[in-house]
Amino acid sequence: MSSVATHPDHGAHAAAKPRGFLRRWVLTTSHKDIGTLYLLFSLAMFFIGGAMAMVIRAELFQPGMDFVDPYFFNQMTTVHGLVMVFGAVMPAFVGLANWMVPLQIGAPDMALPRMNNWSFWLLPAAFSMMLVTFFLPGGAPAAGWTMYPPLVLQTGMAFPFLIFAVHIAGISSIMGAINIIATILNLRAPGMGLLKMPLFVWTWLVTAFLLIAVIPVLAGAITMLLTDQYFGTSFFSAAGGGDPVLYQHIFWFFGHPEVYILILPAFGIVSTILPAFARKPLFGYTSMVYAVASIAFLSFIVWGHHMFTVGMPTAGTLFFMFATMLIAVPTGVKVFNWLATLWRGALTFETPMLFALAFVVLFTIGGLSGIMLAIAPVDFQYHDTYFVVAHFHYVLVSGSIFAIMAAVYFWLPKWTGVMYSERLGKLHFWTSVVAMNLVFFPQHFLGLAGMPRRIADYPVEFMEWNMVSSVGAFAYGAAQLIFVWTVIQCMRGRGKPAPAKPWEGAEGLEWTVPSPAPHHTFHEPPKVV
């Protein structure tokens, strides 16, 4: 299975990289190159999905704007969601796992390098398919990223493209997850027991199990959509005895674990970065591991909180409400452990630390608005308003994406061999954090006042906060250009050379290899003490 077996004499050309674009990048089986590809792909998708967000915020700048056609606005919200979830955040985490999991556990590569190549290259295929729908008659999917029937079945020519794109992206995720599981369980350096693994590795192991458990459920749901549309089945069609509400149950059975797929690796990143810049070991390592595992378990039994207003028996409402609120317990354990890690630490505030600290504060705000939404009677007021939009952007932008940014700044010296510009990094952080709050904090107010989401226009009384939100969005978008420039400079080798361990307080095997990490690492397994 392992392609490493075909290179018994790797020592002779340990430093050599394959030559030529095709062999270096297209046919690569190196976890580092594939990690880079994933991260660059994710960055491209972040900007494509971000451009759609700019269109959305431009349309919502004032009531009655008519900047774009309302139907096109619906395409923007739909594809923005799909691209950001499946194209930007998930591949970014897989890219980080590719780069860092083998380095953190002392493995020479991923367990299944050729499958790794495959799982990456499926992604450009999937998203070309999804984005090409903008040029089809009838345009892109516009029924929301959740693809609820019967509305989604009214999607024109884009419908099969949408389904197959999600299928292919899902297959890619499943293959990536299996690879990560095999790497972590089979390739740890001698002496690295499960409870010695860095938390990023732990969170990814749990995430990978979530992926193989719920992506197939999503695949089943959209397959049923496909057969309802083309093969005369009636899974969700009331005319044939089906029920569209069933789709929502299946979708959210996938959907709630999916939100933890989008946040657990972020927990791992923050648990790595806070101790490094507090110069203290992580407080409560074991409880962190158990908290992640219990969050993952609970995520399977709370999906109904997305459907309170759809209607369900009172017992069901109560069950889903209390089960959801229970998740606050392990999540609270994590937040308090992070705070305890910082307590009396010798803190310094380099860019990764700033993003990680902002994560702790802002993710917690998103978590608290989540608890508000979990309260069923309250949810009847908040459901489908901008309050929900504010909630999930606090956990996804200032949660997942801030953690990804933190990780990139933290490990960029290891990847490129040069230090990024701390001045630009800090500028990126401060503009991002201010802009992000300008975009999303006012959306809480709009939602509480009753502004519904997914609609291209609104009554005049919502104007002021929408303007603030839109201005914040444009600023946030512009701030990300600083990030791109900073990364490009590092990729071109512009900057101070980075030592093997650029962060004084950082721990872990990845800092024992030189910067930039050589093409082959850990062919001799390291000793773990």
Partner 1 sequence: MEREFTAPRHGPLVRRCLVVVVAMFGFGFALVPAYRIFCEVTGFQGFIAADGSDRDRGGYVGAVDESRTVTVELVASVNGRAPWGFAPVERRLEVHPGALVTTRYRAVNETGEPRAWQASYNVAPGSAARYLGKPECFCFQRQEFEPGEARELPVTFIVNPDIPSHVKTVTLSYTLFDLEG
Where on the chain is the footprint of partner 1 (CB under 8 A)? 1-2, 4-5, 8, 107-108, 111-112, 174, 177-178, 181-182, 185-187, 189-190, 212-221, 224, 234-235, 238-241, 243, 245-246, 249-250, 253, 312-313, 523-525
Q: Is 457 an annotated catalytic residue?
A: no
DSSP character string of 305-331: GG-GGG---HHHHHHHHHHHHHTHHHH
Q: Is 391 an annotated catalytic residue?
A: no
Residue 87, CA atoms < 13 Å, CB-side half-sphere: 26
Phi-psi region of 528 (alpha: psi -120 to 50; beta: other; left: phi over 0): beta
In angstroms, give the least distance from the CB of 379 to partner 1. 19
If contact means CB under 5 to 8 A according to the sort of partner, which of partner 1, Cu ion, none does residue 217 touch?
A: partner 1
In angstroms, give the least distance from the CB of 84 to partner 1. 24
Q: Is 172 an annotated catalytic residue?
A: yes
In angstroms, give the least distance from the CB of 505 to Cu ion. 35
Q: Is 19 an annotated catalytic residue?
A: no
Between 181 and 206, name the residue whose CB sits nearer to partner 1. Answer: 181
Q: What are the b/e assignments for 199-221, b being 16+ CB within 10 Å?
A: bbbbbbbbbbbbbbbbbebbbeb
**Length in residues, the chain:** 529
In angstroms, give the least distance from the CB of 427 to Cu ion. 35
Token pair of 8 as six digits: 């018994």
Q: Is 334 an annotated catalytic residue?
A: yes
Which candidate in 167, 306, 391, 428 is catalytic?
Answer: 306
If contact means CB under 5 to 8 A according to the sort of partner, which of partner 1, Cu ion, none does residue 232 touch?
A: none
Which candidate in 38, 99, 145, 394 is catalytic?
Answer: 145
**How far is residue 359's CA from residue 336's CA, in Å, rounded to a whole number?**
13
In angstroms, give the least distance from the CB of 54 to Cu ion. 27
Between 256 and 428, name the residue whose CB sits nearer to Cu ion. Answer: 256
Q: Is 393 an annotated catalytic residue?
A: no
The radius of gyration computed from the CA coordinates of the chain, to the nearest angstrom, equals 23
Q: Which of 167, 256, 383, 393 binds Cu ion (CB under 5 A)?
A: 256
Q: Is 188 an annotated catalytic residue?
A: no
**How far is residue 371's CA from residue 352's CA, in Å, rounded to a whole number?**
28
If contact means CB under 5 to 8 A according to the sort of partner, which of partner 1, Cu ion, none does residue 112 touch?
A: partner 1
Q: Is 492 an annotated catalytic residue?
A: no
Q: Is 453 an annotated catalytic residue?
A: yes
Secondary structure (H, E, C), 411-467: HHHHHHCECCCHHHHHHHHHHHHHHHHHHHHHHHHHHHCCCECCCCCCCHHHHHHHH
H/E element, 523? none
Between 62 and 234, name the residue whose CB sits nearer to partner 1. Answer: 234
CA 487, 488, 493: angle at the middle one, nearest 5? 95
CB 409 within 8 A of CB 427: no
In angstroms, give the least distance from the CB of 399 to partner 1. 26
The footprint of Cu ion (CB under 5 A) covers 256
* Residues designated as active site: 80, 109, 145, 172-173, 256, 258, 260, 271, 305-306, 331, 334, 453
